[in-house]
Amino acid sequence: MSYAQKVIEDLKQRYAHETVFLQAVQEVLSTLQPALDKDAKYEKNKILERIVEPERIISFRVEWVDDKGEIQINRGYRVQYNSAIGPYKGGLRFHPSVNLGVLKFLGFEQIFKNSLTGLAIGGAKGGSDFDPKGKSENEVMRFCQAFMTELYRHIGATIDVPAGDIGVGGREVGYMYGMYKRLTKSYEGVLTGKNLLFGGSLARTEATGYGAVYFAQNMLEDRGETLEGKKCAVSGAGNVATYCCEKLYHVGATPVTVSDSRGMIHDDKGINVEVLKQVKEVERASLTRYAELVPGATYTPVSAYPQGRNAVWSVPCFAAFPCATQNELNLADAETLLKNGCKCVSEGANMPSTLDATNAFLKAGVAYGPAKAANAGGVATSQLEMQQNAGMQSWTFETVDGKLKDIMGNIFRNASETAKEFGQPGNLVLGANIAGFRKVADAMIAQGVL
Ligand code: NDP
Ligand code: 2IT
């Protein structure tokens, strides 16, 4: 059994119930063996056994009082996974499905993603099983404040810098920032994705979605293709999906779908981004509202999806941008996309494709940008926000967007060249994993056994 396989088997015993965590580890470790074979130092230093264990897990109770005066209890977490190359960095997710296994998967991915950005940021993730849906503005504020009354002890501008993820956007970051400041007296860049009024960066809101499109452009350019004039399928209707759609128009492509947890919108004329923003960012409504506002757009509820399948991926497209959540694209979806002529997949969400779907894309040889490379623009721009905060500066939109574009190009080239180095040109899964891993592993070795 290979070194990587031994570590995977051991983890399966220890964390049998953390299925998405095991999936993420398997996805990374199963591609690392060529790098491990090339240099014995990784096994000798037990890097895999060390890198799969978080440096620290903080788990806490969050109590708050709802509008009816009833006491509510949620669970809060921060997984400080790896600080070899910089302060812990990664988002906070508020969603009822959050548990430690989900956050370990996200934190583990974040280590390699952050390394790939080329910036000095370690890997972390956190969040809560709090469900922001259906909560009043005051309830969201009280929850965010209660969450921060514990989290503040563990974070800081040079220690650990959280940001948004599913269920956490500018509003939540603002409430958490306010409470951090009140508790610590410190006005510092402790969170990213902040409002522009108190240290936020221009282009951070747009960065993940824009970055996923820049990544697709890099992959396609390398193959002599372009997004111009092409139909694209986008899933999700949140931060990443919205700005992915916006950027697709900028580059001359047409996004024809968006989706949320209740259903999908399909419109061959193209998704109306202004209406989408109104429905999701302002009204915080379901996509049925979008269908009311845009004549000609069709709404398909989740209950009408084909068994176990996501209807978004049955819409013929040249490029697919999964921007909702993990495991939203399975093998059958991948086969449908390929059958319909899909030539490019750029992952805005974290681990949206199942392992067999990923392998189907690789086997078909289409341009496939795995999440940790394709969606790294969000966290990279968070680090640009940290740079601006540390230097007490605010850069223009064009400056930040220009840096984002350069970073996405560098990530593509790094992953692509690493894939070639290991004899698998075009396999950006292997390329991104090995490139991200080597930097962190080498830093860990240089810092000794801690
Ligand atoms: P948002 O909360 O803004 O939006 C999430 C979207 O995905 C919503 O439309 C939501 O629908 C949908 N969704 C969530 N869970 C499910 C589910 N189980 N099934 C179907 N749809 C679902 O989050 P983001 O846009 O920020 O995040 C989307 C993805 O991108 C996540 O995987 C996140 O980890 C990843 N990501 C985010 C980054 C960022 O900067 N924000 C950076 C890098 C990656 P509904 O509203 O109905 O719940
Ligand atoms: O998954 C991710 O990279 C994010 N949610 C963004 C993290 C960040 O710190 O900006």
Q: What is the pLDDT of residue 382?
A: 98
Longest Cα pair distance anywhere in the chain, in angstroms?
A: 63
379 lines ligand 2 (CB under 6 A): yes
How much of the chain exceeds pLDDT 90, in percent? Answer: 100
Residues 135 and 59 in one domain: yes
Alpha-carbon distance of 285 to 15, in angstroms, equals: 37
Q: Which of 339, 374, 409 is the last residue of a domain?
A: 374
Domain around 62: 54-187
Q: What is the pLDDT of residue 396?
A: 98
Residues 254 and 350 in one domain: yes
Q: What share of the chain is helix, strand, coil (3-state, %, to 5)?
A: 50, 15, 30
Closest ligand to C-alpha of residue 212 is 1
Residue 272 lies in a domain: yes
Q: 337-365 pLDDT, tens per residue?
A: 999 999 999 999 999 999 999 999 999 99
The residues facing 128 across adjacent strands are: 76, 94
Residue 406 lies in a domain: no
Residues 224 and 367 in one domain: yes
Q: 179-210 pLDDT, tens per residue?
A: 999 999 999 999 999 999 999 999 999 999 99
- Options 89, 104, 113, 125, the catalytic residue: 125
DSSP string, 68-92: TS-EEEEEEEEEEEE-SSSSEEEEE
Q: What is the pLDDT of residue 413?
A: 98
Q: From atom 39 of ligand 1, which residue's Cα is the shortest distance away?
A: 165
385 lines ligand 1 (CB under 6 A): no
254: left (phi over 0), alpha (psi -120 to 50) or beta: beta
264 lines ligand 1 (CB under 6 A): no
The single residue listed with the structure tokens 């221009």 is 202
Q: What is the pLDDT of residue 380?
A: 99
Of 121, 382, 383, 408, best ligand 2 pocket probe by most atoms within 8 Å of the beta carbon: 382
Instruction: Report how many domains make up the chain.
Output: 2
Residue 38 lies in a domain: no
- Residue 190: phi and psi, rounded to 5, are -85, -20
Residues 228 and 283 in one domain: yes
Residues 108 and 182 in one domain: yes
Residue 444 lies in a domain: no
Output the pTM of the full model: 0.98
Residues 148 and 291 in one domain: no
260 lines ligand 1 (CB under 6 A): yes
Q: Is 125 a catalytic site residue?
A: yes
Residues 96 and 166 in one domain: yes
Per the structure block, which two tokens stand in for 442? Answer: 């080498």
Q: What is the pLDDT of residue 259?
A: 98
User: CATH no. for residue 212?
Assistant: 3.40.50.720
Residues 264 and 334 in one domain: yes
Per the structure block, which two tokens stand in for 116? Answer: 């790939």
Q: Is the dihedral of CA 76, 209, 161, 190 positive or negative?
A: negative
Residues 91 and 237 in one domain: no
State which H helix or E strand residue 138 sits in. Answer: helix 137-151
Residues 150 and 224 in one domain: no
Residue closest to 214 by CA, chosen among 189, 239, 247, 182 = 247
Residues 179 and 308 in one domain: no
Give 10-residue mean pLDDT values along the chain (450 residues). 97 98 98 97 98 98 98 98 98 98 98 98 98 97 98 98 98 98 97 98 98 99 98 98 99 98 98 98 97 97 94 98 98 98 99 98 98 98 98 98 98 98 98 98 98
Q: What is the pLDDT of residue 308?
A: 86
Residue 150 lies in a domain: yes
